[in-house]
Amino acid sequence: MANERLDAGGVIQHWYDADAEPITIVEGNDATVYDDAGTAYLDFLSQLYCCNAGHSNEQIVSAIAEQAERIPYVSSAKHNDTRSRLATDLAEIAPGSLSDVFFAISGSEANETAVQIARTVQDAPTILTRWQSYHGGTYGSGALTGDPGTRKTLERRAATTGVGKFLPPLPGAFDAETPEELAAQAANHVEFVLRNEGPDSVAAIVTEPIGGTSGAYPAPPGYFERLREICDEYDVLLISDEVITGFGRCGEWFGIETEDVRPDLLTFAKGVTSAYAPLAGVIADEWIGEEIRGGSYDLGQTFAGHPVACAAGEAAIDVYRNELIDQGRQVAPHLESRLHGLEERFDVVDTVRGRGLLWSVVFADPETGEPFVHPWVDDDADNPVADVRSEAQDRGALFGSGRPDVQIIVAPPLCVTREEIDEAIDALEASIEAVFGDL
């Protein structure tokens, strides 16, 4: 059904945020965006966790203009100098022996491509992913996604064949006393699921190194190490979905590096161009690249590796390398400590978790310890967490919503300053107080 309040000028909005007043964003500068009335907002979700270099970065804008003047488009079935230079940059920053890049346009497509590559080289059909995950909303990537909000929309629409799900390493999913126990139980469970699917039929495990829109959750120490061992033991590929966690978001170039574990394939999108143009892709380990080169993987998309987007990517990587990865690392501890302050102050803030500049403030009813709403059961329930986000918007700070919407996701651009962090978290604190009182 049309929602005229939200659908502007015939555009059907993606991801309705029905509680916040719709705003029309027309300009941006660093960590700030402006609406059509000239009101400024601190962009603490980097639009969709993607404008990692902030808005209107001169270097990226000029690179786009130069490329568009020289030659805007070259067939993805031909060579292009800008595309090749970006692939070289990506191989340089990617962990381990990841070296061969297959470009795509969106994160959803990148994950579908990674799955197809894994199925090709492993000659096996099944992929395992986590509940409480997001890997995309298109036909194939939607099947990988395991968060209840997205599943509710996709359940009757997306292909779900060939994908098995396992439980995330989250306290609510297991009965563990310590993080170490949680890591062991959650990893043993993955092995159990894998053995029951039949290891020979499983091509890959796809996982976000730090859960993104499902609530910015890092795994407990030791979990990823064990996951890698399981993959090696059963000859299954490990695919790290770095669509959110890539390009300095979690303090390193890629999130999986914060776990010191080697993936076989890595998918990227969003931050690669700081969202100045759509670009995504898969970086494959050398041996996988060897296998799919030369025509055995004879697929593609017209706009994949678009030269204008590649020029944006090349410039964005330069900006991250020369200033922003370091700058992000320097301010991240301040954001972390300000967010833990909310946990100390409010009983309704159940947990604060994350890594680098990707955080989640998780809310729960202090009486029951349960979330305020659940997407499968509380269709039209008032959601106080959405009210907090809406209040924060009124106070000039934009935050993200988790899926399910029981958390506020905090993910500012890497160029954010300490002062901006204080301003935005003050606004969040006042908003929690406005909705919940001193609870």
Binding site for ligand PMP (CB under 6 A): 106-108, 111, 134-136, 208, 212-213, 241, 243-244, 269
Place of tokens 């030791």: 222
- Least CB distance to ligand PMP at residue 278 (A): 8
Closest CB to ligand PMP among residues 197, 242: 242
Nearer to ligand PMP by Cβ, of 144 and 325: the residue is: 144
Minimal distance, residue 213 CB to ligand PMP, in Å: 5
Query: Angle CA(112)–CA(114)–CA(119) in degrees, nearest 5?
Result: 95
Indicate the residue among 289 and 402 with the shorter CB distance to ligand PMP.
Answer: 402
- C-beta separation of 396 from 289 below 8 A: no
Q: Does residue 230 contact residue 190 with C-beta atoms inside 8 Å?
A: yes
Residue 206 or 406: the one with the smaller Cβ distance to ligand PMP is: 206
**Minimum distance, C-beta of residue 307 to ligand PMP, in the bound complex (Å):** 19
CB of 217 to ligand PMP, least distance (A): 12
Q: Is 369 exposed, middle or buried (0-12, 13-18, 19+ CB in 10 A)?
A: exposed
Q: Which is nearer to ligand PMP, 384 or 404 (CB)?
A: 404
Q: Are 378 and 435 in contact (CB under 8 A)?
A: no
| Distance from C-alpha of 394 to C-alpha of 389, rounded to nearest angstrom | 9
d(CA 406, CA 419): 27
The residue (of 138 and 431) whose beta carbon lies closer to ligand PMP is: 138
Give the nearest distance from C-beta 134 to ligand PMP in angstroms.
5
Residue among 146 and 289 whose Cβ is closer to ligand PMP: 146
Q: What angle do helix axes 384-394 and 418-436 make, rounded to 10 degrees?
A: 130
CB of 111 to ligand PMP, least distance (A): 6
User: In angstroms, what CA-CA distances link 238 with 51, 233, 354?
Assistant: 27, 12, 22
Minimum distance, C-beta of residue 243 to ligand PMP, in the bound complex (Å):
3
In angstroms, give the least distance from the CB of 389 to ligand PMP: 17
Provide the 10 A C-beta neighbour count for residue 259: 24
Cα distances (angstroms) measured from residue 139 to each of 11, 43, 114, 255: 21, 30, 14, 26
Q: Count of alpha carbons within 13 Å of 107, Cβ hemisphere only? A: 26
Q: Could you tell me the CA-to-CA distances from 346 to 214, 269, 314, 405 in Å, in that order?
A: 22, 35, 43, 18
Q: What type of residue is 348?
A: V
CB of 133 to ligand PMP, least distance (A): 7
Residue 278 or 384 with smaller CB distance to ligand PMP: 278
Q: Which residue is nearest to ligand PMP (CB)?
A: 107
Task: Tell me whether residue 67 or residue 213 sits nearer to ligand PMP (CB atom).
Answer: 213
Question: Whole-number minimum distance, CB 270 to ligand PMP, in Å?
Answer: 6
Give the rounded distance of the alpha carbon of 410 from its chain centre. Answer: 12
Least separation in angstroms between CB 333 and ligand PMP: 24
**Residue 108 or 274 having the CB closest to ligand PMP:** 108
Which residue, 50 or 352, is less far from ligand PMP as judged by CB?
50
Asked whether 205 and 231 are in contact (CB, 8 A), the reply is yes
